[in-house]
A = this chain, B = another copy of it.
Amino acid sequence: MRLAELSRRSGVATATIKYYLREGLLPPGRQVNPTTAEYDDAHLRRLRLVRAMIQVGGLPVATVREVLRNVDDYALGRTLRLGAALWALPQVPEPDENDAFVQAAHREVDELLDRLGWSNAKLLTTISPSYRSLVVAVAAFRRLGYEWGFELLASYGRLMHEVAKLDLDFVETHPSEAEKAETAVLGSVLTEPMLQALRRLAQEEESGRRYGFE
């Protein structure tokens, strides 16, 4: 199919598709002559994936490019670890390591990982963006003067471990390696707003149960 049809079938404007091509989110089509390129279903699927990540997942274009690179690398067998390398990309503001709150948060998170027995995650503390995000979030809370029992954080951690098991179970239902990679990414990116929505609905539900309405 040509660009116009790709646009029609995906609902994405041709100018936008050209932009994605330029940005490397879509591989170039097969050039049949200097002014015509041919696209196939793989392009369509990739385009839908890109749109989902941007619109539903809210990822910036640059991040999508990185994520896709990992998907493709994984599909080619270059990346063997499904975990770290794959979903360890996105956006974290660098913490200020001189800040006392940040240092305290480091200690707290390290202790948390110990307590939860997350020995594998422990190995990644220096490189994992997730680890850094966690530190930043904990530090922000502390900076605002919030105290919580250590047990609260641990409880959240245990629940998210259950969530992670579901995530990986779902990935395992997909036999092919290429699909696994894509599913892993989607499972990480697309289910985040989904979980967020579920959590808020659950808060509304539970709030209603505890305090009633009106």
Contacts and interface: CB of A to CB of B under 8 A. Distances in A.
A157 B102 CA distance: 32
A150 interface: no
Contact of A137 (B146, B168, B173, B190): B190
A166 interface: yes
B204 A124 contact: yes
Interface residues of A, number: 78
A201 B131 contact: yes
A156 B203 CA distance: 14
Given A163-B159, A166-B152, A143 B52 contact: yes
A141 B51 CA distance: 12
Given A193-B133, A201-B134, A211 B82 contact: yes
A63 interface: no
- Tallying the copies of this chain within the complex gives 2
25 contacts: A55-B140, A56-B137, A81-B214, A83-B207, A88-B200, A120-B207, A120-B208, A124-B204, A128-B204, A130-B197, A130-B198, A130-B201, A133-B196, A134-B201, A137-B194, A137-B197, A146-B183, A156-B198, A159-B162, A160-B199, A164-B199, A164-B202, A188-B200, A192-B196, A195-B195
Interface of A: 45, 48-49, 52, 55-56, 80-84, 87-88, 93, 113, 118-121, 124, 128, 130-131, 133-134, 136-138, 140-141, 143-144, 146, 148, 152, 155-157, 159-170, 173, 183, 186, 188, 190-211, 213-214
